[in-house]
Structure 1
């Protein structure tokens, strides 16, 4: 018995419009199913939309501001649907646009400086541009090569995030979409595009422009190797970036974002990770080899370390920030935190000239002082701990001597651990509230890790061992405090539903490093558990799985 379903045989509303003798583009754009029909490649609909007049009208919805007296459909719905039609990536519609210079002029007329640039339409322009870059990259690049004023217009609007995304795609930082990528990258490097973007880090620009310009430049550094990335890492451009960073300005936005670019030049992968803690985790667990950095890039940064060190001085800063425990006079600030982060990344490059400059300029001593002056700034503690570990793991004994002797690190660690509460000293930037008991210092966990690292490296580094053995206060504190704390904080000994016996303890590191699983036995166990049967050819009976699909020992974690 067959059921009669009239709704399935009913004609599509779009087809009903197309059946009319006289219909308009607006009628189609007002129909809810038009995008679905475009994706289904409705031939009648596409043949209508591919016409030049219709493509031009769709473009006008995308790039032109609606009249003041326009209804809501003209303001919101039609621009959105028009943009979606283009992003359906129908080849014949994009071909009509890309091969007609007047239509391309209409599209890029959105960038002209004498007209409004709403973020609303900028998003639609960005989507159409990126769609052309993906599907009609040759025609698009040919147009831009002829009309190089597009570069200047895009950079002038870089404060709009959607335009910044266009620039990121244009420099090839996300996808190598160009058929002749190397030639295009070289052509972009020969243009003045990079100079224009770097100059947007100037103190005369607003913070949103600084942020988007830095994001674009960081995207270029991630595209190593490329002609643009090589040009950006040259000494002349590094000096240019630092020149903008150190411009005298009340706002430190230019400094913060310029240093973000410098950090990305030293470690391109870092700029792609939002959290520095996640970056540290990846470095420790994934064992990613460092990318070699051009020594000329580092050498161009070293002359500016003295100016950065001056900015780390908090005595001349009269700002203050009330907190739950008291007051910061002054607060550390984003710019000082970014300077410390830059120093930490610079140290990890292992450049000898950088290490010597960081010692002679007093930079290491200053950042260690900040570690204890701001006991509740965990982001600062993370970066300073990285600097200390880089010093301890250095093969240069002069750095270790400077850290443990001139910077007096061991004494400061012990004293802070013994007296973990604010002293109320007015000479310190972190002050407790009157009559209020401040919480325990927030850097005690970092102090414990640094101390354990000292003990660990003392067994293999004679220089560290000499400093530790000659310090009676350290020996007493290590024996009475540090060892007991490590025992208490050893989670594998906690009786909370896990085996407490040492021989029954199972750690992930031991599993990954020491255990030798037999992959064939594991695969056989799984095949029995899930009903898979393997024949002599190491394939399933139904032939759907081959040997490459076996489960490895790491799939259990």
Structure 2
């Protein structure tokens, strides 16, 4: 029973991965122990996750758009292959590589996109104070995150649920900071209203409206944002 000695049993897969010089965020997102290690407050892991470029990638993964197959001639493919830029995201493909992928490849890419979206949202909403602090220190990342609401309707329901999950966690744990941040967003409430048919976005909208009744939240929802036919009472009744 050598594991009783030397502390070998305490060395996790995540710790081993973090020791590698060439590991990537995607390597971590593929690890089944990631969320468990965050809950165990793995200091080295959390310090890595709160780095600004890492947070930016995590927020991107939460709302990464679906892969869309593109059809074109072989001549166009060859031309695009010469000009196609590299991308840091494994499921975001250039036009040329998209055309070359088979249906099976598209399915695999979509599964990876969905998995990364789920894991990234769980990381960002993991009740880890250090990560919340880092997000508030980089308000521009949240501002860009909210550009998700600028997309045309209907929104991807799965993405909308993850977007709402992350924001609800931030509003709960960093209420005052999020209120001030949201007030600085142009047309934030009207953007929410533009997707009122999406149940997940509706939940987030109602949470924002409820903040108007809290200390420091007064004025976060201006009456001018609401169409004449849509009152606060009618919103709560939906």
**Shorter-chain TM-score: which interval?**
0.7 to 0.9
Structure 1 residue 75: deviation in Å? 2.1
Distance 1:27 1:80, change over 3 A: same
SS of structure 2 residue aligned to 1:171: helix
2:230 corresponds to 1:192: no
2:166 corresponds to 1:134: no
Give the Cα separation in 1 of the matches to 2:194 and 2:125: 25
Give the Cα separation in 2 of the matches to 1:143 and 1:189: 13
2:53 corresponds to 1:53: yes
Written as runs of structure 1 = structure 2, the 5 A alignment for 1:304-343 is: none
2:205 to 167, 173, 185: 167
Q: 8 Å contact 1:87–1:131 — kept in the other structure?
A: yes
Structure 1 residue 4: deviation in Å? 4.7
Bigger relative contact order (CA 8 A; separation at least 6): 2
Distance 1:183 1:22, change over 3 A: closer
Distance 1:43 1:89, change over 3 A: same
Query: What are the superposed Cα offsets for residues 223-259 of structure 1, whole Å, 9 maximum, x if unpaired?
Result: xxxxxxxxxxxxxxxxxxxxxxxxxxxxxxxxxx7xx
2:214 corresponds to 1:181: yes
Query: What are the superposed Cα offsets for residues 139-181 of structure 1, whole Å, 9 maximum, x if unpaired?
Result: 2111221224011010110110100110111122xxx7x8x92
Q: 8 Å contact 2:29–2:116 — kept in the other structure?
A: yes
1:23 aligns with 23
SS of structure 2 residue aligned to 1:124: helix
Distance 1:183 1:13, change over 3 A: closer
Superposition RMSD in Å? 2.7
1:217 aligns with 236
Query: What are the superposed Cα offsets for residues 81-134 of structure 1, whole Å, 9 maximum, x if unpaired?
Result: 000001112122222222323201221011004476200100000001101101
Unaligned runs of 5+ in 2: 69-105
Q: 8 Å contact 2:154–2:198 — kept in the other structure?
A: no
Q: 8 Å contact 1:61–1:79 — kept in the other structure?
A: yes
1:71 aligns with 109
Give the Cα separation in 2 of the matches to 1:188 and 1:72: 37
Structure 1 residue 26: deviation in Å? 0.3
2:136 aligns with 98
Query: What are the superposed Cα offsets for residues 251-310 of structure 1, whole Å, 9 maximum, x if unpaired?
Result: xxxxxx7xxxxxxxxxxxxxxxxxxxxxxxxxxxxxxxxxxxxxxxxxxxxxxxxxxxxx
Give the Cα separation in 2 of the matches to 1:73 and 1:10: 32
1:37 aligns with 37
2:175 corresponds to 1:145: no
Distance 1:51 1:189, change over 3 A: closer
SS of structure 1 residue aligned to 2:123: helix
Q: 8 Å contact 2:14–2:28 — kept in the other structure?
A: yes
Query: What are the superposed Cα offsets for residues 524-550 of structure 1, whole Å, 9 maximum, x if unpaired?
Result: xxxxxxxxxxxxxxxxxxxxxxxxxxx
Structure 1 residue 50: deviation in Å? 0.6
Structure 1 residue 8: deviation in Å? 6.7
SS of structure 1 residue aligned to 2:217: helix
SS of structure 1 residue aligned to 2:22: coil
Q: TM-score, normalised by structure 2?
A: 0.73
Residues paired across the two proteins, number: 197
2:158 to 111, 117, 120: 120
2:76 aligns with none
Structure 1 residue 64: deviation in Å? 2.0
Unaligned runs of 5+ in 1: 202-212, 219-256, 258-557
Give the Cα separation in 1 of the matches to 2:60 and 2:221: 33
Give the Cα separation in 2 of the matches to 1:152 and 1:51: 31
Q: 8 Å contact 1:99–1:139 — kept in the other structure?
A: no
Q: Which has the larger radius of gyration?
A: 1
Distance 1:200 1:39, change over 3 A: same
Distance 1:12 1:154, change over 3 A: same
